Structure 1
Amino acid sequence: MLNGPRQTKYKKTKKGKLSKLEFKSNDLKFGTVGLKAAESGIINSRQIEAARQAIVRKIKRKGKIWIKIFPDLPITSKPTGVRMGKGKGQVSHWGARVSGGTVLFEICGVNFNTVLSALKTGGAKLPIRTKIFN
């Protein structure tokens, strides 16, 4: 399971702003069919893992899958019932910043109809709108 990086320079970072569309990583590098983010947002490591498991189950462990995003953004939260102030909360989970147009998953080695259904179920596990392309 993806659980964030092993070590980072700083324990807690600011989340920052997300651009609406990005064109750096919007084409396929390895696979033949891909799942692309249609909008920007933050995807946490559990959602990435849930999507990966759903895709692997649908393609019945045949073919190859590439996960093109990594959760390297520490998301902090303070416990419930704690008053305001007294610093930033502890790291609760890890997330990945995703801009619109970023490729999330790539697949090859399986027939096209199976890949379509697999990426559709994988995209349903994610909190942002996605698009399947080849």
Structure 2
Amino acid sequence: MLSPKKVKHRKVFKGRMRGAAHRGSSLAFGDYALKALSCGTMTARQIEAARITINRTMKRGGQVWIRVFPDKPLTKKPAETRMGKGKGSPESWVAIVKPGRLLYEVAGVSEDVAIKALSLASNKLPFPCKVVTRRTTL
């Protein structure tokens, strides 16, 4: 699973997911990409599951770039614990995704294979996504 090697603070505030993505919203590496249409959080497990789906569909041909990284700790209190007594311990890592953010980029395969791989990967994610190509973004 993806996780940061070192963080400044063990626990962070929950925060708000407002507005559209400005960074990471244009194709930089590949010819096809998976773009988020709404905001949400992607866990490290979801990022890995979608990556495996893309690689299997492309039969390990071409290249895949992961454009998100889970850098925010998600805390959770133990089961059957009373309220209070502080914040729970870090449980997993998540990436905050805003609308317009590119999640994965693909190159080196045909268009139909890339679109199929990215659409199958979007089924693994907790928010709606669409496949964009270099032609549609220019």
Under a length normalisation based on structure 2, what TM-score does the superposition of the two structures give?
A: 0.94
Which residue matches 2:136? none
Which residue matches 1:39? 38
**SS at 1:48's partner residue?**
helix
- The aligned runs of 1:36-115 (5 Å cut-off) are 36-115=35-114
Q: Distance in 1 between the 2:128 and 2:18 partners?
A: 15
Q: CA deviation digits over 1:45-76, x for unaligned, max 9?
A: 00000000000000000000000000000000
Report the alpha carbon displacement of residue 15 of structure 1 after superposing the two structures with TM: 2.0
Which residue matches 2:15? 16
Q: CA deviation digits over 1:75-94, x for unaligned, max 9?
A: 00001100000000011110
Q: Distance in 1 between the 2:127 and 2:73 partners?
A: 19
Which residue matches 2:122? 123
* Percent identity (aligned): 42
The amino acid across from 1:93 in the alignment is S
Q: Distance in 2 between the 1:15 and 1:36 partners?
A: 24
Task: Mark the runs of 5 or more structure 1 residues left unpaired by the alignment.
Answer: none
Question: Structure 1 stretches (4+) deviating beyond 6 angstroms?
Answer: none
**SS at 1:122's partner residue?**
helix
CA contact (8 A) 1:20 1:39 kept: no
Report the alpha carbon displacement of residue 22 of structure 1 after superposing the two structures with TM: 2.0
Under a length normalisation based on structure 1, what TM-score does the superposition of the two structures give?
A: 0.97
CA contact (8 A) 2:24 2:67 kept: no
Q: How many residues align?
A: 133
Q: Distance in 2 between the 1:24 and 1:76 partners?
A: 26
Q: What's the RMSD between the two structures over aligned residues?
A: 0.8
**SS at 1:74's partner residue?**
strand
CA contact (8 A) 1:71 1:95 kept: yes
Q: CA deviation digits over 1:103-130, x for unaligned, max 9?
A: 0000000000000110011010000110
